[in-house]
Amino acid sequence: MESHNHPSFIEPYQGAATGVGGILRDVFTMGARPIANMNALRFGDPGNPKTRHLVAGVVAGIGGYGNCVGVPTVGGETNFHKSYNGNILVNAMTVGLADKNNIFYSAAAGVGNPVVYFGSKTGRDGIHGATMASAEFDEKSEEKRPTVQVGDPFTEKLLIEACLELMATDVIVAIQDMGAAGLTSSSFEMASKGGLGVELDLDSVPMREQGMSAYEIMLSESQERMLMILKPGKEDVARAIMDKWELDFAVIGTLTDTGRMVLKRHGEIVANLPIDPLAQASPEYDRPWTAPAKLPVIAADTVEAVDPASALKTLLGCPDLASKRWIYEQYDHMVMGDTVQRPGGDAAVVRIHGTQKAVAITTDCTPRYCQADPHEGGRQAVAEAYRNISATGAVPLAVTDNLNFGNPEKHEIMGQIVEAIKGMGEACRELDFPVVSGNVSLYNETQGTAIQPTPAIGAVGLLDDVSKHMTVAFKAGGNHIVLLGETKGWLGASLYLREVCGREEGAPPPVALHRERRKGELVRQLIQDGQITACHDVSDGGLLVAVAEMAMASGIGASLEAPSSLPLHAWCFGEDQGRYVLEVGQDDLVAVLEAAQEHDCVARVIGKTGGTDIGVGGSSVAVTELKAVNEAWMPTFMGAEMSGH
């Protein structure tokens, strides 16, 4: 997972496109064929004049790149909040498939081995992109447009095929893509990891334009370029493959044992630097921080009670919950022919080509929880990813993250970072859900205003038998609706509180991690045993929203019986954690409830499927009406852009 936040704000199409390109390269550089893309996007208030332009550009950029490369974009999440007005977040994730015995690394080895450049030519684009992306924005940030890179997805497609073909030949010692800071970071990092030195002849670098200085060549962030160390004498093997794919190829230097970087341009040495202090041995920060204050818990009876049907319509039509069809229909989510669950469910399900296995993939984070309590928000982001994976029937395997925060030099922001990481770490340990990679984006601030802390989680799970994957859609009328997990009616930091009552306050719902794991295991077992027919985790908007989403996916309604022990609005819209809604046929009900008891999980029947309405506590609304509201927001919002031009 990788962020391209700053560039996407300055130039949304290219910023987002090159974000996708960068994360794809990170994956195929290791010898993995990319099989799916995901993204996690955060935009400013829909009423902000820049928001539409940014949404249109980012979505077109992600689609423009991913569609051309031919890797399906299978899902993601999109939120809107005013804290992102000056700093949108564009986090791109790629899942690749590698043979565990044939993974490629970047540590250089073998004094005298050739240092080889291949891919696109080097131009003057993107110079200082990395430093731009690591500073706060001010009123002059628009002037930084020339630091944004320009993507060429066609070349990336050729690069994927060429790399994978080359990797099948056993000639590569080490390989790395040229990302932020281009040739500088790739050459220094590869040499430092191998404890070696490098001598580069910059005259040999394939260049797009004349008269480039050594400085420009070393700092260019031209896209679709790779650096590798070849085994001695294997240059011709590699060159033939690059010729086939019409990519530039050049031997630009050799490895030395000096531990120094020596750069030559026009026959003269223009730089001679020690490598380690700039890479592996660079100093590390230990910044001071202050823990954020805990917010008060908001009692449900102090929150205004609105008729459930009317509140449900408001929620399903609000920017965060509205259907994102307008976005995902611009992404090719089916290319490669293995997309089993398309965007719109809890997690995307992508079959492993040529097998009966599949991976479930999700991205999750609830920034309003992280703002209210970064520690609890960090736990919740991981737990929600765990639930989304489990709800498809897949066993959660691993997590990657994209930590987006404000300026870490401020003690309270550093406090958010520390607490969010603590919370995520606790959840990952408790759920046996390791963090295997990640990316950090700091200084997401404009004129002193920081984003809500957004530690986005990307997670992957495994289904051994893809035919058993579970979906959110109700399958038939007359089935039981079972709620798994406890409901206390937690409305603090909820979407109901924000969207229906206009209040952003209170402590977020706590996550009971020890119970989370048991419930996940139970859900997966029920799916495996064929005892439930639909499953959806309860998240943003609470129980009634989850039930409505299951109804909208199928057109089948539901009637619910609310308990009298809680205020109705708290039962319907509370965001208590660790809950799933299950659809269960009559014949399986006893077995499901018994299994829940065996797993020490609270489960109760809350209603039945059927009809064409969602009804609860005497209030009801047609599923078609909900669907219309849910589908209308995004095209209406974006349509205003078209008419405005």
In DSSP notation, 513-572 reads: HHHHHHHHHHHHHHHHTT--SEEEE--TTHHHHHHHHHHHTTT--EEE---TTS-HHHHH
* Amino acid letter, 511: V
Least Cβ distance, residue 644 to other proteins (angstroms) = 15
Least Cβ distance, residue 66 to other proteins (angstroms) = 10
* Minimum CB distance to other proteins smaller for 73 or for 147: 73
* Minimum CB distance to other proteins smaller for 153 or for 317: 153
In 3D space, the residue among 126, 234, 215 whose CA is nearest the CA of residue 170 turns out to be: 234
Backbone CA torsion sign across 217, 220, 226, 228: positive
CB neighbour list of residue 155: distance below 8 Å, 6 or more residues apart: 119, 120, 223, 224, 247
CB 353 within 8 A of CB 336: yes
> How far apart (Å, rounded) are the C-alpha atoms in residues 320 and 81?
9
* Minimum CB distance to other proteins smaller for 245 or for 496: 245
CB 164 within 8 A of CB 96: no
For residue 77, CA distances in Å to 42, 332, 593 come to 8, 16, 33
Least Cβ distance, residue 322 to other proteins (angstroms) = 17
> What is the contact surface with other proteins in residues (CB under 8 A)?
60, 63-64, 67-70, 152-155, 157-158, 245-246, 328-340, 342, 351, 466-467
* Minimum CB distance to other proteins smaller for 173 or for 361: 361
Say which residue the tokens 């990170």 belong to. Answer: 26
Beta-strand relationship, 435-441 and 89-97: unpaired
- Using DSSP's 3-state secondary structure scheme, residue 178 falls into coil
* Minimum CB distance to other proteins smaller for 339 or for 402: 339
CB 637 within 8 A of CB 329: no
Least Cβ distance, residue 88 to other proteins (angstroms) = 20
Q: For the sheet with 603-609, list strands across it.
A: 534-537, 580-584, 480-484, 603-609, 558-560, 613-616, 619-622
CB 360 within 8 A of CB 73: no
* Minimum CB distance to other proteins smaller for 52 or for 333: 333
Least Cβ distance, residue 404 to other proteins (angstroms) = 27
Least Cβ distance, residue 50 to other proteins (angstroms) = 20
Say which residue the tokens 């919002």 belong to. Answer: 637
* Minimum CB distance to other proteins smaller for 193 or for 469: 469
* Minimum CB distance to other proteins smaller for 328 or for 474: 328
Least Cβ distance, residue 160 to other proteins (angstroms) = 10
* Minimum CB distance to other proteins smaller for 158 or for 309: 158
- Using DSSP's 3-state secondary structure scheme, residue 304 falls into coil
* Minimum CB distance to other proteins smaller for 461 or for 492: 461
* Minimum CB distance to other proteins smaller for 154 or for 594: 154
* Minimum CB distance to other proteins smaller for 69 or for 214: 69
Least Cβ distance, residue 80 to other proteins (angstroms) = 20
Determine if residue 354 is left, alpha or beta; phi over 0 gives left, psi from -120 to 50 gives alpha, anything else beta: left
> How far apart (Å, rounded) are the C-alpha atoms in residues 346 and 471?
8
Say which residue the tokens 């011709």 belong to. Answer: 236
Least Cβ distance, residue 246 to other proteins (angstroms) = 7
> How far apart (Å, rounded) are the C-alpha atoms in residues 443 and 466?
42
Least Cβ distance, residue 365 to other proteins (angstroms) = 25
> How far apart (Å, rounded) are the C-alpha atoms in residues 605 and 68?
47
- Using DSSP's 3-state secondary structure scheme, residue 70 falls into coil
- Orientation of helix 51-69 relative to helix 623-644, angle to 10°: 100
- Using DSSP's 3-state secondary structure scheme, residue 608 falls into strand
Least Cβ distance, residue 171 to other proteins (angstroms) = 22
Least Cβ distance, residue 70 to other proteins (angstroms) = 3
In 3D space, the residue among 354, 386, 350 whose CA is nearest the CA of residue 459 turns out to be: 386
